[in-house]
Structure 1
Amino acid sequence: MLEQRIQQQFFESADLLYQVAEGLSRPLAVAAQMMVDALTAGGRVLTAGLGTSAADATYMASLLSGRFEQERPGLAAIALDAQAQGYADPASALMRQIQTFGHPGDLLLLYEAQASGAAAALLQVAHAQEMSVIVLSGTQDDDWRGTLLDTDVQLRVPHSRFARVAEAHRLLSHCLSDAIDLQLLGAGE
């Protein structure tokens, strides 16, 4: 019984990835181009996430500033710290950091696997800084979708289980990293 439940986790994850592959390929290409445009114009990518999504934001910043699968110069990416000292809640810490570090031409890459209720406020702060936004989200995000501008991109993984959304977000991060490297370096080996 336990083995079947474990196998079901794999099957459910694989099914979700197959279901979203076609629908997300175009917005992923647009998002990757947005990131390349920002970086090559001297802007930075600020990554952010609340709760366990903060780890995804840190991971993505390390892929950009370090490397993905090919050696290349580091790209200007900063993971914002939702646990910054002196703030009543993580969302307030992120808002302050977006205000402090975000400049026109920069891009906010926001991970929102679980609805936190703070996404709308973070988007508004980024827009006030004249930043574009890419949001990697899950299913329960209807309350802030109206905050997205035409220049923003949402990469939505429609699933009710947080674990499946988080798994897909890791793959989306890899897809973005690969697409950025392809555009900057050409096809690797």
Structure 2
Amino acid sequence: MDFQSRILGHFNASIDAKTYASEVLPPFIEVASQMMVQCLVSEGKILACGNGGSAGDSQHFSSELLNRFERERPSLPALALTTDTSTLTSIANDYSYNEIFSKQIRALGQPGDILLAISTSGNSANVVQAIQAAHDRDMHIVALTGRDGGDMASLLGQDDCEIRVPSTSTARIQEVHLLAIHCLCDLIDQQLFGSTE
């Protein structure tokens, strides 16, 4: 087997997925960034959740806001709901794994806050329940999905925003999700702190 050709195939598939996504996603990413900025200037916060690689993306996003992205600026309030193992395991043990995010949202979420809900399939049961809990708390949703949007898409209202990657490959969807997260971080900084160019 020619491993380098296989590697090149992955690079090319990623490039193709991002090129296709670039033709579809910019308006949705722009709207999502504006929602997040409005939340932040209104003294709200952004909660983020997902499973597996999407949990990593949740933490990546919150760290870019709490610490910094590509410029020096004040910290911004964001929290990944995927990091407190005592909380996660106690909820999973005492109730259900499907409630590990929703119970946190019911405790921490406030009206006007945003939930960044991430699932490549759109069908993760605990993320679906997180969206329902966020709506119960009068929060808005920015959903990062793929494929057909899954169950998450059907739960979103007119004040929510779905960034749906037009791909059926989990790896490609994850790669575009990370790029979308970086776009969101950049646009938040641009709108709150001005251009550096």
TM-score, L = length of structure 2? 0.91
Aligned partner of 1:93 in structure 2 is 100
- Kept in 2, the 8 Å contact 1:50–1:112? The answer is yes
Aligned partner of 1:120 in structure 2 is 128
TM-score, L = length of structure 1? 0.95
Q: CA deviation at 1:140?
A: 5.0
**Aligned to 1:156, what secondary structure does the other structure show?**
strand
Greater displacement, 120-129 / 25-34: 120-129
Alpha-carbon distance between aligned partners in 2 of 1:78 and 1:107, rounded to the nearest angstrom:
11
Aligned partner of 2:45 in structure 1 is 44
Paired residues, number: 189
Aligned partner of 1:71 in structure 2 is 72
- Kept in 2, the 8 Å contact 1:50–1:91? The answer is no
- Kept in 2, the 8 Å contact 1:135–1:154? The answer is yes
Greater displacement, 136-145 / 153-162: 136-145
Provide the aligned C-alpha RMSD in A. 1.4
- Identify unmatched segments of 5+ residues in structure 2: none
**Aligned to 2:149, what secondary structure does the other structure show?**
coil
**Aligned to 2:101, what secondary structure does the other structure show?**
helix
Tell me if 1:168 matches 2:176: yes
- Kept in 1, the 8 Å contact 2:101–2:129? The answer is no
Alpha-carbon distance between aligned partners in 1 of 2:110 and 2:59, rounded to the nearest angstrom:
20
**Partner residue of 2:156 out of 141, 148, 152:** 148
Percent of matched pairs sharing the same residue: 37
- Kept in 1, the 8 Å contact 2:118–2:127? The answer is no
Alpha-carbon distance between aligned partners in 2 of 1:50 and 1:85, rounded to the nearest angstrom:
14
Greater displacement, 168-177 / 113-122: 113-122
